[in-house]
Amino acid sequence: MVELNNFKLKKMAAIIITQNTELTQKAIDTLKTCYDPEIPVDIWELGLIYELNIDKENNLTMIMTLTSPNCPVAETLPPETEQKLREIEGVKSAKITMTFDPPWEKEMMSEEATLELEFM
């Protein structure tokens, strides 16, 4: 269970704020190419993305977490992801904010990710 603003959530899907659904889909597709090298599931399906926001000028902001504050890729994964998002045609700018509140829990993974990791 995850507690957010005194609400208990079993799974937490990303909050998506946008008026450009095509660009949003491109961003999600890009996030699905980003992996923690220790886990063979992309960061979108792992549930590491808490919020994705694309404003009217196509500036992209995102709030994400990692599986742990001590994650070995804490210094590299966020900037690499941010760079990939910047390279999407139509994105004016991209900025990632890291958070560990609420902390990531395995229940945040999609069904696809859960099934993938169960077979390992």
Name all domains of the chain by residue range, CATH numbers in brackets. Answer: 2-115 (3.30.300.130)
For residue 43, give the nearest of 82, 17, 8, 94 by alpha carbon.
82
- What are the phi and psi torsion angles at 97 (to 5°)? -110, 130
Using the CB atoms, write b or e for 34-64: b if 16+ within 10 Å.
bbbeebebbbbbbbbbbebebeeebebbbbb
Is residue 35 pLDDT above 50, yes or no?
Answer: yes
Q: pLDDT: is 114 or 88 the higher one? A: 88
User: What's the chain's Rg over C-alpha atoms?
Assistant: 14
- What are the phi and psi torsion angles at 58 (to 5°)? 65, 30
Q: State the pLDDT at residue 119.
A: 62
Q: pLDDT: is 7 or 71 the higher one? A: 71
Q: Give the integer Cα–Cα distance in Å for 34 and 80.
A: 8
